[in-house]
């Protein structure tokens, strides 16, 4: 394992990010040597740790770092100090933040943490990035034009590589311990998602999924394409997208040496991906055409364990598969399972 640290951004300080990061590191302590640093505001993380201690949920000591290099000097002391959470201050100290409320200050702080951490990974000073949830309205209030993490990371990566955004296509993968899905389109209305499909777009998705999963799995991944229409079009009787779009993309991918099957009917493909008794290790990921086609089975199987992985970037990035949950912030009721899974998965890369 690399001696470079994993970076974990604090998320929106008005949401559950700081507390689920703290809870995750407390629960992972002693299980795995994650060698991680939280990037954000020390005061925010100390307040979160203090609340969790008062609620009897976790006892974590926040240690302020002046730089990533300072992590090495504190490592030998961790064993006898209990759970120590190193936090790197990368912004001016924040004023008090009201939990559960959208604010430009909180939005800018969460964005600053993401940008700093991403640059550190791109520069080779850290080996990966796990991002706690940000609030899109808070980013908008702060004057940021990025819709979310993915677009910011894509832009920073393209700038680092000196290429255009078009030259750096990315895809969203959602993963639970039992299932991975890769989305061809993401946040589009269903009508727009179908109109956007093309053999080239599906093939591009298969290439990105193959490349990134091969690194993660250390072998060529087995991919399967889920049909768009009922019964995967029933030979053109229920739609012809499988014939015009999906089939040609699969054939081109197979000619390139990718292990791709399909298109298979969506009402059974996820079951086949899960049925290890009849189909042992048959599929490593299901490639789906639109948002809900992939997220419904993921959230049904592991709502509290789902991890969002951005594929196609020159950096490794994971995040929990949920938002800032302003209604839960500070209550002690936020579950850290997805954040913990995101950190653990990042440590496997």
The confidence score (pLDDT) of residue 147 equals 87
In a domain, 268, yes or no: yes
The confidence score (pLDDT) of residue 31 equals 66
Q: 178 near 275, Cβ under 8 Å? A: no
Dihedral over Cα of 139, 334, 338, 115: its sign: positive
Backbone dihedral region for residue 187 (phi beyond 0: left; psi -120 to 50: alpha; all else: beta) = beta
Closest among 2, 5, 11, 20 to 304, alpha carbons compared = 20
CA–CA distance, 196 with 143 (Å, rounded to integer): 29
The confidence score (pLDDT) of residue 79 equals 46
pTM: 0.89
In total, how many domains does the chain have? 2
Whether residue 209 sits in one domain with residue 137: no
Whether residue 237 sits in one domain with residue 187: yes
Question: Roughly what angle, to the nearest 10 degrees, separates helices 266-274 and 291-302?
Answer: 40
CA–CA distance, 221 with 207 (Å, rounded to integer): 11
Q: 23 near 49, Cβ under 8 Å? A: no
Instruction: Give 289's contacts (C-beta < 8 A, 6+ positions apart).
Output: 183, 184, 185, 193, 194, 197, 202, 226, 228, 246
In a domain, 304, yes or no: no
Environment class of 88 (CB within 10 Å of its CB; exposed 0-12, middle 13-18, buried 19+): buried
The confidence score (pLDDT) of residue 178 equals 87
The confidence score (pLDDT) of residue 74 equals 59
pLDDT, block means (10 residues), the chain with 349 residues: 85 97 91 81 97 95 87 54 88 95 97 97 95 97 93 96 95 92 93 97 98 93 96 91 97 98 94 68 90 93 87 95 94 94 84
CA–CA distance, 334 with 34 (Å, rounded to integer): 22
Whether residue 121 sits in one domain with residue 29: yes
181-215 confidence digits (pLDDT tens): 999 998 889 999 999 999 999 999 999 999 999 99
In a domain, 305, yes or no: no
The phi, psi pair for 119, rounded to 5°, reads -65, -40
Domain that holds residue 224: 171-298
The domain spanning residue 248 has which CATH number?
A: 3.40.718.10
19-37 confidence digits (pLDDT tens): 999 999 999 986 655 689 9
Helices (H) and strands (E) in the chain, counts: 14, 12
Instruction: Give the start-end residues of each E strand in the chain.
Output: 6-9, 36-40, 61-65, 84-89, 128-131, 171-175, 180-183, 222-226, 259-264, 285-288, 307-311, 317-320
Whether residue 18 sits in one domain with residue 161: yes
Instruction: Give 89's contacts (C-beta < 8 A, 6+ positions apart).
Output: 40, 41, 42, 64, 65
Rg value, the chain, Cα: 21
Whether residue 273 sits in one domain with residue 203: yes
The confidence score (pLDDT) of residue 81 equals 61
Length reported for the chain: 349
């Amino acid at each position: 394992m690399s001696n470079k640290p994993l970076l974990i951004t604090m998320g929106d300080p008005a949401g559950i990010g700081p507390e689920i990061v703290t809870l995750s590191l407390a629960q992972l302590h002693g299980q795995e040597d994650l060698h991680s640093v939280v990037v954000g505001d020390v005061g925010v993380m100390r307040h979160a740790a203090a609340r969790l201690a008062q609620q009897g949920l976790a006892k974590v000591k926040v240690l302020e770092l002046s730089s990533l290099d300072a992590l090495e000097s504190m490592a030998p002391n961790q064993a006898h100090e209990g759970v120590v959470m190193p936090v790197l201050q990368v912004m001016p100290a924040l004023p008090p933040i009201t939990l559960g409320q959208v604010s430009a200050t909180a939005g800018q702080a969460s964005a600053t943490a993401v940008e700093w951490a991403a640059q550190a990974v791109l520069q080779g000073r850290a080996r990966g990035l796990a991002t706690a949830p940000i609030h899109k309205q808070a980013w908008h209030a702060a004057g940021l034009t990025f819709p979310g993490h993915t677009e910011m990371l894509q832009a920073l990566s393209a700038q680092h590589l000196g290429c255009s955004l078009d030259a750096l296509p990315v895809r969203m993968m959602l993963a639970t311990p039992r299932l991975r899905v890769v989305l061809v389109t993401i946040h589009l209305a269903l009508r727009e998602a179908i109109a956007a499909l093309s053999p080239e777009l599906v093939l591009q998705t298969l290439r990105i999924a193959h490349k990134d999963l091969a690194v993660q799995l250390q072998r060529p991944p087995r991919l399967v394409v889920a049909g768009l229409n009922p019964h995967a079009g029933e030979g053109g009787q229920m739609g012809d997208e499988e014939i015009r779009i999906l089939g040609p993309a699969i054939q081109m991918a197979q000619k390139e040496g990718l292990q791709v099957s399909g298109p298979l009917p969506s009402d059974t493909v996820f079951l086949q991906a899960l049925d290890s008794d009849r189909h042992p290790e048959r599929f490593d990921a299901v490639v789906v055409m639109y948002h809900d086609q992939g997220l419904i089975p993921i959230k049904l199987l592991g709502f509290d364990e789902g991890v969002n992985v951005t594929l196609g970037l020159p950096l490794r990035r994971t995040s929990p598969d949920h938002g800032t949950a302003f209604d839960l912030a500070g209550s002690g009721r936020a579950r850290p399972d997805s954040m913990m899974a995101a950190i653990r998965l990042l440590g496997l890369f």
